[in-house]
Structure 1
Amino acid sequence: MTIREIVIAPDPVLKKVCDPVDAVDDGIRTLMDDMLETMYKAPGIGLAACQIGVTKRVIVVDVSDDKEEKRPYCMANPEIIWESEEYSAYQEGCLSLPEQYAEVERPAAVRISYLDREGKRQELEATDLLATCIQHEIDHLNGVLFIDHISKLKRGMIMKKLKKLTANQ
């Protein structure tokens, strides 16, 4: 497994719509492993392939409290097939927008269809933080950042801070 460099906004790769995965093969499994390693090291609870510069529809998520007992989900071609009418709000952050946070409202529960590490079609019903995290990562695959869900004023302030941060590196 390799720890990859995380792409920081406003890098244009973060605004691209990612390509579907044709088949979950050894290359995709290696990508998933690298993404998990990168996410845990950051540390984070979710990562989309585009956040390491790979425009494939792959996400990894692990919201378990106990980092000794990891419970990751590795998903290729994840798709929301149902969402609840109830919404919940979470203070979201993102590894590609370091040290930036905003409250975002999303459906409180979702059902996801995806291909697992073995290439088998799976469905998962998620609630609470897991639902929020999966929706956040699927947004990445569609070129959407969490700041696209907040007011233009707040988004502008965050992007200004990020431009300063990246200019100083």
Structure 2
Amino acid sequence: MRRASIPGTRGRVRPVTLLGESVLQTPCAQVTDFGPELARLVEDMFATMYAARGVGLAANQIGEPLRVFVYDCPDDEEVRHLGHVVNPRLVAADGVVLRGPEGCLSLPGLEAGTERYDRAVVEGFTVDGEPVTVEGTGWFARCLQHECDHLDGGLYVDRLSGRRQRRVMRRWSRRKP
């Protein structure tokens, strides 16, 4: 019996785009070609996410303005969720709104209490063009919403307001280049 390969083992680690780069602030394009280049991109995204010790990564975080994200994220019951979604649509975000710590590989070392729903459902496709529906609760729901925000040109800091947002942005501006 042949074992499925571990995502990212054949990918290359790419530089992560940082806050201030325009690709993070622009809505991403729909994927139209489900060929080997898309499969390579997903492999590179997993490799990059693991190297950066993240739980999710959107394609624009490595400079590719396409609607794709990968994840390897537990939920609140420590159940591991591993996969990717191409052309995702957030079709439900509901339940209780919770403020919890949220960080981002594009703002390394920073986090802030961010409000998110505790349940999310995303529909999209696999790299092979097969339909997929991903449902998450708790921490994983936060991850799904966070990655969908990226693909729409948003970051978690855009969801902050007032003092909380100013504090994160001030800390970001003081970072060492």
TM-score (norm 2): 0.85
Following superposition, the deviation at residue 110 of structure 1 comes to: 1.4
2:82 aligned residue (72, 90, 97): 72
1:138 aligned residue (140, 144, 148): 148
Following superposition, the deviation at residue 119 of structure 1 comes to: 1.1
**Residue type at the aligned position of 2:36:** D
**Residue type at the aligned position of 2:121:** R
Answer whether contact 2:27 2:152 (CA < 8 A) is retained: yes
Q: Secondary structure at the match of 1:133?
A: helix
Identity of aligned residues (%): 33
Structure 2 gap segments, 5+ residues each: 1-10
Counterpart Cα distance in 2 of 1:160 and 1:88: 24
Structure 1 gap segments, 5+ residues each: none
TM-score (norm 1): 0.89
Following superposition, the deviation at residue 71 of structure 1 comes to: 4.9
Match of residue 3 from structure 2:
none
| Larger RCO (alpha carbons 8 Å, 6+ apart) | 1
Asked if residue 89 in structure 1 is aligned to residue 99 in structure 2, the reply is yes
Answer whether contact 1:24 1:76 (CA < 8 A) is retained: no
Asked if residue 22 in structure 1 is aligned to residue 29 in structure 2, the reply is no
After superposition, the Cα gap between the structure-2 partners of 1:135 and 1:120, relative to the gap in structure 1 and judged at 3 Å, is same
Counterpart Cα distance in 2 of 1:48 and 1:77: 11
Match of residue 8 from structure 2:
none
Asked if residue 11 in structure 1 is aligned to residue 15 in structure 2, the reply is no
What is the root-mean-square deviation in Å for CA atoms of aligned residues?
A: 1.6
Asked if residue 111 in structure 1 is aligned to residue 116 in structure 2, the reply is no
Cα distance per residue 1:135-164 (max 9 Å; x no partner): 001100011110111113322332232233
Answer whether contact 1:6 1:51 (CA < 8 A) is retained: yes
Greater fraction of residues in helix? 1
Cα distance per residue 1:73-108 (max 9 Å; x no partner): 111111111222422232000000111111111111
